[in-house]
Structure 1
Amino acid sequence: MKVFKLMLILIVLGIGFTTTVLYSGIVNVAADEPHGELVYWLLDETRQTSINKAAQHIAVPDLTNPDLLLLGAVDYEFMCASCHLKSGQYESDMSLGLYPAPPNLTVATNVKVKSKPSDEIAIDRKNFWVIKHGIKASGMPAWGKTHDDQRIWAMVAFIKQLPTLTPEQYQILTAIE
């Protein structure tokens, strides 16, 4: 009976604390103020684990088709470059204004994957999942609502090549006729 009372007291205190935090306004949600280390770690770890689990069984098509690269390049230019940057670009108003900052895909093709760094298939799966489903409260939209899987895979194919592109090559690939 004492254990039950103790548990009940702890639950009531927990609900009271949570309610106080929720409605007091003491949690700063401003995008220009970084999270504390513990909160950042908790959110980052949750994001990584969720993406890795959700993406682990996605079948990756052949991403070497040049047509995929061209289709992905145009979509990247219009949908991604303002946040994730273009070849030769190091920041933009969007990349500076978002928190957490979006990854610069011109130098890194993926968000951290909890597997071997050489596991390109895991990286492709994860990138596909993130592009298709987005990430809550991060500024990353879910493009799967407006784009079919083929177009999303095209963006994955382009992102794989993006770090190797010069600004001139990027310009050629993203030019529209």
Structure 2
Amino acid sequence: MKILKAALLLLVLAGIGGGIFIYSGSYEIGADVPHAQPVYEVLETLRDRAVEKHAADIRVPPLDDPGRIAEGAEHYAAMCTGCHLAPGMDDSEIRPGLYPQPPELATQKDENPAEQFWVIKHGIKFTAMPAWGATHDDQAIWNMVSFLQKLPSLTPQQYAQMTANAGNEHEEHEHQHHHQE
């Protein structure tokens, strides 16, 4: 009984201490100051496990359709390269200010398509990854996943060829999408 009381007291004191720390505002929250390593590792594990769990039951459709890949390339070029770059792209104006740094998707091989779908659809809190499911239907998101599966194998020239008209076509799709609502 004595150990239980001591454990309970320790838990209450830790809660009070945590509350004081949180309300003090002393934790460095700016994106230009990295998290302490233990905090970073906890957040990274939380993110990875949550995405894995939430994506576990997602059924992946066939992803090798050329039309699906082409539309995904169009979306990627219009919406993703500022943060995730493209083959042959070294940096962007926004990327250096992002923390944590978004993954360079052109170098991410063998990624789980169900997890990619979930992340694109729902986004990731505190990472600047938006929830594209708010503005794009599942079909468009699967098209992006189809392209992401192909992206790591593309040369800069192949990428440029696939996305040559992406900006114009993306604007046209968005215009049509808004008029259908």
**TM bracket (short chain):** 0.7 to 0.9
The offset of 1:11, in angstroms, is: 3.7
Report the TM-score, using the length of structure 2 for normalisation.
0.84
1:59-78: CA deviation from partner (whole Å, max 9, x where unpaired): 11110101101110111111
- Partner Cα separation in structure 1 for residue 90 and residue 108 of structure 2: 12
- Tell me what 2:127 maps to: 138
Output aligned runs, 1:163-174, within 5 Å. 163-174=152-163
- Partner Cα separation in structure 2 for residue 133 and residue 99 of structure 1: 19
* Aligned-residue CA RMSD (Å): 1.7
Question: SS state of the match for residue 106, structure 1?
Answer: helix
In structure 1, list runs of 5 or more residues that go unmatched: 110-119
- Tell me what 2:76 maps to: 76
The offset of 1:10, in angstroms, is: 2.5
Paired residues in the alignment total 166
Question: SS state of the match for residue 94, structure 2?
Answer: helix
1:37-67: CA deviation from partner (whole Å, max 9, x where unpaired): 1111111111111111111111111101011
The offset of 1:146, in angstroms, is: 1.0
Question: SS state of the match for residue 107, structure 2?
Answer: coil
Return the structure number with greater helix share.
2
The amino acid that maps onto 2:136 is: H
The offset of 1:7, in angstroms, is: 4.5
The amino acid that maps onto 2:128 is: G
- Tell me what 1:36 maps to: 36
- Partner Cα separation in structure 2 for residue 58 and residue 8 of structure 1: 41
- Tell me what 2:90 maps to: 90
Question: SS state of the match for residue 31, structure 1?
Answer: coil
Report the TM-score, using the length of structure 1 for normalisation.
0.86
Question: SS state of the match for residue 74, structure 2?
Answer: helix
The offset of 1:3, in angstroms, is: 5.0
The amino acid that maps onto 2:63 is: L
